[in-house]
Structure 1
Amino acid sequence: MHHSLVQDWMTPNPITMSPETSLHEASNLMKQHNIRRLPVVAKGRLVGIVTWGDVREASPSDATSLSIWELHYLLVKLRIDDIMSKEVLTVRPEQTIQEAARVMLQHKISGLPVVEDGQVVGIITESDIFRLVVQEWEREVEPALVEGPMR
């Protein structure tokens, strides 16, 4: 696991959106594809990231006193560049999974865009790292359990 590279475990060519995307569109895209973060790309370059938490926080509460028309107007007018994080932590494809995991732990985040020459080429998430951990565990630990204790 120490030498596993981000490029071998990342999701390549992730779904991205432009800064002009509406909050409503972003929310629908995240729900439709069951994803919790979307890199924001302008002219082929990463300019921000939006998480499901950002979208939820920017959305009106169910207890709002706004009418359905006022809500619709706000949701269509609010753009991703109004709520996105502009300071984005990233990793490169050739970095190790251990390095990516360390960045996620230190910053308490669950995923990182993978960037090469300024372009988003993938995304690595906690789930990808868990997949690696489980695979390693199954490869190393389970055979020992099946064989039983050494005598």
Structure 2
Amino acid sequence: MEKIIAILIRKPRQYHSILPQATVRDALSQMCAENTDHLLVMSDNRFLGIISEHDIATKALSIKLSLKKQLVKDVMNHGLPMITANDTVERCMKLMRQHNIRFIPVFDGFNFEGIISADDILQEVMFSRNDVFDGENEQSGSYVL
């Protein structure tokens, strides 16, 4: 199966991030403004974790405290499993399933290289399948519209 590096190469290197001291309300507003369902929690160019809409729905809303008073660092996912660019997509999928997560950070030693999402994996599977199906259509002389 493909290596994670193949996904990272095709994926834009633009990541939406937020500081750990920001409020959960600020995080939610930023997600809406940037049309994303997650933000990387970064401080001094260091990856600290991820906060997602799911985290807000399951953690922040269960606490009886205003979203204006809750901090990102108290709701974010941290201590996530990590992968390297040389890991396989299959290993990434297994870790995501094992830890029930949709996002997994990619590191090269201590250097943050990017983030892989379940959507990235799905796109990779579809991309690899399109290559297979395109080849079959060319060989058979038929094309699907």
Query: Which TM bucket (shorter chain)?
Result: 0.7 to 0.9
Deviation (angstroms), 1:48: 2.4
Give the equivalent residue in structure 2 for 1:134. Answer: 126
Task: Provide the residue aligned with 1:88 in structure 2.
Answer: 80
* Structure of higher CA gyration radius: 1
Deviations 1:8-37 (CA, angstroms, capped at 9, x unpaired): 344424112111011111001122223222
Contact 2:23–2:67 under 8 Å retained in 1: yes
Distance 1:60 1:25 in 2: 18
- Structure 2 stretches of 5 or more lacking a match? none
- The answer to whether residue 18 in structure 2 is matched with residue 26 in structure 1 is no
Give me the TM-score of the superposition, normalised by structure 1. 0.74
Q: CA deviation at 1:79?
A: 0.8
Identity of aligned pairs, percent? 22
Q: Secondary structure at the match of 1:77?
A: coil
Out of 133-142 and 9-18, give the one that drifted further.
Answer: 9-18
Structure 1 segments (4+ residues) deviating >4 Å: none
Corresponding residue SS for 1:19: coil
Distance 2:4 2:83 in 1: 14
Deviates more, 1:2-11 or 1:39-48: 2-11
CA offset at residue 116 of structure 1?
3.1
Determine the C-alpha separation between the residues in 1 that align with 2:131 and 2:97. 25
Aligned to 2:38: 37
Kept in 1: contact 2:39–2:51 (CA 8 A): yes
Larger relative contact order (Cα-Cα within 8 Å, sequence gap ≥ 6): 1
Contact 2:105/2:116, CA 8 A, preserved across alignment: yes
Give the drift of 1:120: 3.1
Aligned CA-pair RMSD: 2.8
Alignment-mate amino acid for residue 56 of structure 1: A
Q: How far apart, CA to CA, are the structure 1 residues paired with 2:92 and 2:12?
A: 14
What's the TM-score once normalised by structure 2's chain length?
Answer: 0.76
User: Is 2:70 aligned against 1:78?
Assistant: yes
Q: Does residue 1:143 correspond to 2:135, yes or no? A: yes
Q: How many residues align?
A: 139
Mapped partners of 1:134, 1:24: distance in 2: 35
Q: How much has 1:54 moved relative to structure 2?
A: 1.4
